[in-house]
Amino acid sequence: MERRKKKRWEDERMTGIGRRRARTSFYRDSARHVSLNGDWKFLYLEAPELSPAGFFEPGSGEGWDTIDVPSVWQMRGYDHMHYTDVLYLFPVNPPYVPSKNPTGIYKRSFFLDDAWLQEDTILKFHGVDSACDIWVNGVHAGYSKVSRLPAEFDITSLVKQGENDVTVRVYKWSDGTYLEDQDMWWFSGIYRDVELINEPKAAVLDCRVTAGLDAACGCGHAVIDLEVKGDGKGTWSLLDGERLMAEGEFASCKDQREIRITAEAGTVQPWTAETPYLYQVKITFEGHEITVRTGFRTIEIRDGNFTVNGTAILLNGVNHHDYSPTEGRVVTYDQMKADVVLMKQHNINALRCSHYPAADCLYDLCDEYGLYVIDEADLECHGFEWVENYTWISDDPAWETAYVDCAVRMVKRDFNHPSIIMWSLGNESAFGCNFVKSAEAVRSLDPSRLIHYEGDFEAEAADIYSTMYTWLEKLEEIGRGEKGNHKPHVMCEYGHSMGNGAGCLKAYQDVFRKYKRLQGGFIWEWYDHGFFTKDEEGHEYYRYGGSYGDFPNNGNFCIDGLLMPDRTPSPALAEYRQVIAPVEILKKTGSGREIALKNWYDFKDLSHLCVKWWISCDETVQEEGMIEELKAGPGEVCCLEIPYQPFIPERNTDYYLNISVCLKECAAYAPKGHEISRGQFLLKEHLETAVLHETGRRLAAEDDGIFYTVKGESSEVVFHKIYGRLERFTVDGKTYVTAGPEVTVYRATIDNDMYKKDDWLNKYFIQLPDEQTEYFRTEERGDRIDVMIGTYFGCLNQSWGFLCDYHYTVYGDGSVTCRLEGKQIQRGKAEPGFLPRIGIQMKAAKELQNAAWYGLGFQENYADSREAAWMGVYRSDVDGMSVNYVSPQENGHREEVLWYSLGDGEHSLLVTAERPLGLNIHNYTEESLEEAKYPWQIKKADDVIIHMDYLHSGLGSNSCGQEQEEAYKVRRQDFALSFTMRVIGAGEDVAQAKIKYLD
């Protein structure tokens, strides 16, 4: 006796009922289309079996709610929000799903006139998650699954003149759910467009265009495969805008519904991501007209590389989910267009649809603007890895039909897009016989493109050797041919951009460019997937896993994009833009005027670009100019001499040659002058002079046993003898420094510290330091007083630390110099592998909110993430020094800082450093950052918190991938810092910072 009878939504062998065969999406279609988007009646249930009797009958639905389509019902207050990376939310028992299976019943009516009924009626759902049954006028019309692909139903026999009724019952869980575990929020509903198509009785059902290019002669050839219904005659034409390139006729009869047309196009403009030239194929059959856009390009493997039009390309890509911070998985054309334009503006040339086919319009935009696409099947069954039976269904022939269906329907829908260069069979689903069968099916449909699947570790079925999150050392081995097979290599995921990161992107790009076999990769990922919330107290923020009480969850692992939820580009996006810039700017040795431009484009020369240059010092531009003619083919270098005038440098002033490579004319994605790449070079070492401190101003010292106070004419510096630190620095009765320097090795952990965080905070207690006073000595010399303090720095229950020697000099002119030397010590064995930082923390008066600095900026930058930053003088309020990450963490660091100031509009505290240091200035403490889950929970401090770092560790991308490189890990070591503090008038910082004093 059968123990459990399969329900329709639990049958892995059933791909659909009544659903039409998959077909391509036409760019234009003369058949009438009527949108069924809008308000539908809606009934939410905890299980399909709880559906009310007759729910599918016309006229039912009295008292139901109303829901908008497209939408996901969790974003409309039904069911609950839940995010997991890997886990299924029910017992792993394929193909069965829970009896408690959240279900939504949708119902609406539509009106058809007699003219409409003369043709066929097709009901099309562009996306329903995860499976659905459809009734029209009370009659079952069909069933479909695969959430991210369309389903079409011919309902001609079910509709009538006048008002018609359509009912859709959507199941949250189905056997298909086992194939859709894709590291994202679990959403349900009709979330893409719904439409009616008035299809002629004689019509073009399908049109697949394969447009190849003979790169040697530049000639294009097209193969047009048509499927029609009805007998009749038709015409075809190949157009370049309005120019006719080729044309012909065809005929259909009962025995010939499939027609192949070949067309020789002669010399054509090739399609590449750099030159996205599109042509049109127009088909007319018995009055039904469709248009397909196409581009001539040939994709093949040559000499160990995959090539486009005979040229090996480098993919500078990003992974892209469909996402909206207010609508979940519902996206609009305008949002998709904004995404594509922003990618192009940031030098991105490829995207991977992760991990499912995207909304149709994305491919149209990639065709038009120029992005290479890896189109990925709606397939990931990552949860099986968790139960240590990863190949459970991937290697089970019972699931072959489901696997092949996912791949084949994707290929059929998206076949006509020249931007697609690879079909990906899925993601993180192990490997087995079902992937072999999927690859065979895809190749039989489309031998013109390559097959990708990272889970095929040996590339048995795939054409590409794909890896993810490969560490640099292993990547080099792959590049040298020491690892893996000898197929072309792509990193389908790397640079995990979770929170503050990713770092080391430049190192990856250098390796990609170094080895012929390595053909780039795709950053994970484009968006932070947080959802906008405004709570009862008015706090606005973005929620992530666990924010809705969902358990288990993967927390903020979904907050891992180059764009924040509100589309604010993260600092990592600017960094990536510069790292992958197709023009590299190099300084040549010689006169100082010569630079070299390396052309990293695969196809284009540099004639569409120009160079803007200027000489800067401090906040001024001394001279500027433009070079209009750039000549360098792909892979070539052109040398330029910058024609600036000789000048005598001002003393104690740095001069920089700044280079910006820009668009000479406007492009489809950016205006004229848009910057493609940038470079900066120190032009002249400045002439350094120093003066003596002003003498003759006597200082007085007071010692009450606890405080040692040095008083000048208008200044007062107080030291705490017991605690061994500078207590405060006051000028004209106003306190500027409210707590003096103390050594620290702690930063609020970033997401990329997640695998070190527990050790740092719970084993080595780096957030719980203690600096013990060992000596306090003074030397009074009239117009200067020296205060020497020795401390022992360590952390709770640790045997490692530093012996610190502070040497303060208080001058009669009101300035204070601090020289700090730290000697490393270790009296045991246990210690962190590396430290977040070695530096000092001090506090300034909270009124000092106007910040300026001379160093790298404007955006935050770190040791392994500073390609987009330039040296200069920058200004901001203190709040503007922070980056408001969705999940609070260390942020706002600036490297190579030589001076900074903090002012209140009248006076400023100026701090000048003897050697470049790292700088953070915030209105909150590291501890507050560590504790907060959301930005509004960060507690404002009573002071401005300043960090000056001797060294600060890089970012890495170890939340999922590469640790910080060794060069960017701060090891326990001796260190030294030296800086001078003084109070100046507002606006005097640049001039005053140039004054160098002799000791």
Q: Which residues contact 624 (CB under 8 A, 6 or more apart)?
A: 612, 613, 614, 615
- Residue 308 phi/psi, 5-degree rounding, is -115, 120
Q: What is the DSSP letter of 440?
A: H
**115: exposed, middle or buried (C-beta count within 10 Å: 0-12, 13-18, 19+)?**
exposed
Place of tokens 């730290």: 822
Rounded to an integer, what is the distance from CA 507 to the centroid of its chain? 18
> What is the distance between the alpha carbons of residues 226 and 210, in angstroms, rounded to a whole number?
12
Sign of CA dihedral 69, 75, 81, 82: positive
> What is the distance between the alpha carbons of residues 787 and 721, in angstroms, rounded to a whole number?
10
Which amino acid belongs to residue 444?
Answer: S
> What is the distance between the alpha carbons of residues 277 and 838, in angstroms, rounded to a whole number?
53
Sign of CA dihedral 722, 727, 732, 734: negative
For residue 10, give the nearest of 172, 141, 143, 176 by alpha carbon: 176
> What is the distance between the alpha carbons of residues 598 and 226, in angstroms, rounded to a whole number?
46
Place of tokens 């270790």: 826
* Edge-first strand listing for the sheet containing 311-312: 299-302, 305-308, 311-312
The answer to whether residue 428 is catalytic is: yes
Q: What is the DSSP letter of 672?
A: T
List beta partners, residue 888. Answer: none
Q: Which residues contact 279 (CB under 8 A, 6 or more apart)?
A: 211, 238, 239, 240, 245, 265, 268, 293, 294, 295, 296
Q: What's the chain's Rg over C-alpha atoms?
A: 33
How far apart, in Å, are the Cα atoms of 725 and each of 775, 790, 818, 979? 11, 10, 11, 15
Query: Could you check whether the bond before residue 94 is cis, i.e. omega within 30 degrees of 0?
Result: no
List beta partners, residue 49. Answer: none
Query: Of the residues 12, 152, 286, 428, which is catalytic?
Result: 428
CB 910 within 8 A of CB 989: yes
Helix (H) or strand (E) holding 928: helix 926-931
> What is the distance between the alpha carbons of residues 79 and 46, in angstroms, rounded to a whole number?
9
The answer to whether residue 493 is catalytic is: yes
Query: Of the residues 493, 575, 860, 926, which is catalytic?
Result: 493
**113: exposed, middle or buried (C-beta count within 10 Å: 0-12, 13-18, 19+)?**
exposed
Angle at 47 between CA 45 and CA 49, to 5 degrees: 110
Between the two ends of the chain, the Cα-to-Cα distance in Å is: 96
> What is the distance between the alpha carbons of residues 619 and 909, in angstroms, rounded to a whole number?
19
CB 886 within 8 A of CB 544: yes
Q: For the chain, how many residues are written? A: 999
Give me the active site residues, please.
428, 493
